[in-house]
Amino acid sequence: MTAQIVNDESSEWDGARFGREESTGVAFGMDMLQIVFLGVGMVIIVVCVVAGGFPGGLIAAALTAGVFGAIGIPRIFGKSLLTWVRVILSSQSRKRTGQNEYLPEESGVDVVVGDEGIELSPELEVIDPPRRSEDTGRDKKGRIKPLKPGRLLLPGEFSELLVYQMPGGAAFAYDPVAKEGIVVAQISTHKAFGLESFEDQETRLRAWAEAEATIAGIDGVLRVQMADQTTIASGSAVLDHYEQEISNAQTVVDPDTGETVEQAGEAIDPFLHQSLVDMLVAAEGRPVHGMWMAVVLSQTKLAKRIHSAGRGIRGFMETALVAMGAVESALPESGTEVVRWHSPRSLAALVRTAFDPAASVEISEREDGVDVGAAGPMWARDSLATFASEGAIHRTFKVSEFPRSQAQLGFLQNFIFSGDFRHTVSVYMKPRDIGKALKTNERSKATWTSNATLRDKLGKQTTLRHDRQLEDLSQEESELERGHAALKMTVMVTVSAFSEEEMDASVSQLKTAAARANCELRVMYGQQDSAFMAAATPLGRLNI
């Protein structure tokens, strides 16, 4: 007979839950557009009653009230019907004017758009501009010497991004319009969170919370994007990584032969080693997970520091180097570390594979990445529910509802490991000033109180959902008062496929994973281009 020991110790994460999607609105959960629309309806109703008399005026008023109420009151997927009408009309207008389709103007590549998509000319060769060997990145006084930047040829507003190379080889993407700088790190986790004990998971989560607070507290940080991308890498690339890990493994001296033996690969189990090698040699591509962290810095907020560091782009890069060091030192305690900061070419490779998933195998075999000028798509088209590029179609979702009951540690892994199909999960962290966050919380509470007073006067019954909103606001205030970092979190998921059938199958797996995580997914209708850029590319652009 065996006895099962149950751990009755309480956990600091007991009762942890996320607030519902905000629906307080201006009044009764309605936004300003709804209030204005219904206000216009009320004016028309009064005019009908006064001018039409009885019974014609009352009938006209009743019909007007029905029409305005049916259009102005309903909310679908968190948005009012009026907002959806505006989104659909905007999408149709862009389609009629051809603004939903993108062709690079400066690529120098001949393209022909036919009924089945796009055909590229076979003479596509992009060569990096030559750089002098004496370009060390700094002058004799130690100041950064910015080299000529490359331009990312991307759809719409994203084409303004310029990519510089900083001392040490890291890329610095600069947006001269938004006045933002972006640095991107390749990150890795050296522990398996799902295989650890609950106590160890708690420890890592506590360390990660501290790391988030530290990064959010770095001067000038606007947004942080943390992403995990399930992609396809060549079998040869995985084999090279495996052989490198063997060569880096610990060694021991065989007491019988006196030879030095590596404690990995064939020395441990020749059969399994050879089986893995044969499988990787035969495999064209295998699903792997790539992780990155994009840190977006504000040039405006860092103006004084940039001025003292050398002004202009030179001073901005010096400031970015300091922020990068702070990020590197904040992560290790949580089991996460910065492997490297992406160079311009490796950053361009990430962007390129986002638009062209079919090229993942080929690009993974290149050690030097992709030229910045060739990172963007040769063709892209935006529609109401999808974004298409280079023969692939993409659909982006937003996690609109997080677990409403007890949230399990690591629940987002259900999205990351939802299946062996191309998808990217991006978590955005937007720091907020604690004082401003508390004031926003107070205003939301005041709005809730006003709505509750109006509901009482009109005799409307209080619902549990309405009461839960106040609980969420009180919980947020309590957490801010306890010293938690004021962060606004957004989670986006992009699924990529090469046919509608493949897309439907992958989305079905994703929705099943969302149900297991007790979350709700929402398609970003009418915003697929911006949503794709936010979720699938490492540029930290959250413009939705």
Q: Of 81-95, 183-197, 247-261, which one has max mean pLDDT?
A: 183-197
- Residues 6+ positions from 90 with CB-CB distance below 8 Å: 526
pLDDT averaged over every residue in the chain: 80
301-343: pLDDT as tens digits: 999 999 998 889 999 999 999 999 999 999 988 888 999 999 9
Confirm if 376 and 355 have CB atoms less than 8 A apart: yes
pLDDT at 191 over 60: yes
Percent of the chain with pLDDT over 90: 31
Q: What is the mean pLDDT of residues 396-415?
A: 83
Q: What is the mean pLDDT of residues 220-249?
A: 79
Q: How confident is the model at residue 298 (pLDDT cuts 50, 70, 90)?
A: very high
Which residue is listed with tokens 């629309």? 37
Three-state DSSP class for residue 106: coil
Q: How confident is the model at residue 130 (pLDDT cuts 50, 70, 90)?
A: very low
Domain boundaries, the chain: 21-99, 100-115+135-432+486-536
Specify the higher pLDDT residue, 22 or 271. 271
Give CB contacts under 8 A, 24+ apart, made by 77-82: 77/400, 77/522, 77/525, 78/21, 78/23, 78/400, 78/522, 80/30, 80/31, 80/33, 80/34, 82/33, 82/34, 82/37
Instruction: Name the amino acid, one letter, at 231.
Output: T
Quick one: tokens of 56?
A: 């014609």
* 55 cis-preceded (ω within 30 degrees of 0): yes
493-509: pLDDT as tens digits: 999 999 999 999 999 99
Position 126 scores a pLDDT of 36
Per-residue buried b or exposed e for 194-208, using 16+ beta carbons within 10 Å of the residue's own CB: eebeeeebeebbebb
Using CA atoms, how far residue 341 sits from 165, 348, 353, 462, in Å, is: 11, 13, 18, 52
Position 413 scores a pLDDT of 86
- Residues 6+ positions from 433 with CB-CB distance below 8 Å: 486
Position 120 scores a pLDDT of 37
Specify the higher pLDDT residue, 238 or 488. 488
33-52: pLDDT as tens digits: 777 888 888 888 888 888 87
Specify the higher pLDDT residue, 355 or 260. 355
Q: How confident is the model at residue 7 (pLDDT cuts 50, 70, 90)?
A: very low
pLDDT at 281 over 60: yes
Three-state DSSP class for residue 367: coil
Confirm if 163 and 347 have CB atoms less than 8 A apart: yes
Using the 8-state DSSP alphabet, how is residue 359 labeled?
A: G
Position 131 scores a pLDDT of 43
513-535: pLDDT as tens digits: 998 888 899 999 888 999 999 99
Q: What is the mean pLDDT of residues 397-416?
A: 82
Total-model pTM: 0.77
Cα(489)–Cα(491) distance, integer angstroms? 7
